[in-house]
């Protein structure tokens, strides 16, 4: 039937959260530096809105996440 929704994959951002706090002291401080609203960032961290590729590149640079480790921070599936 047409009311079937595509499966929404949920990602676990706990490593990302940890890295944000480690580097910026709090999510609020990071969000200010990142240049978005607390609300928008929260929606992304709670799997309501996807991070864009641009977001991922910018956040990785801000947090010194090496290219080879991006998957650990952004693409670890919630179990």
pLDDT digits (tens, 9 = 90+) for 24-64: 999 999 999 999 999 999 999 999 999 999 999 999 999 99
Confidence of residue 7 (pLDDT cuts 50, 70, 90): low
Q: What would the two tokens of residue 23 be? A: 């580097």
Lowest mean pLDDT among 16-20, 34-38, 42-46, 75-79: 75-79
Q: Is pLDDT at 79 greater than 90 in this prediction?
A: no
- 3-state secondary structure string across 11-52: ECCHHHHHHHHHHHCCHHHHHHHHCCCHHHHHHHHCCCCCCC
pLDDT number for residue 9: 81
Q: Are 51 and 44 in contact (CB under 8 A)?
A: yes
Q: What would the two tokens of residue 39 be? A: 């609300």
Q: How many residues does the structure list for the chain?
A: 79
pTM of the model: 0.87
């Amino acid at each position: 039937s047409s009311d079937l929704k595509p499966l929404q994959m949920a990602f676990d951002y706990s490593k990302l959260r940890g890295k944000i706090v480690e580097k910026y002291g709090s999510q609020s401080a990071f969000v200010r530096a990142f240049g978005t609203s607390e609300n928008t960032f929260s929606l992304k961290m709670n799997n309501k809105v996807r991070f864009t590729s641009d977001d991922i590149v910018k956040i990785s640079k801000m947090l010194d996440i090496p290219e080879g480790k991006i998957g650990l921070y952004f693409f670890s599936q919630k179990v």
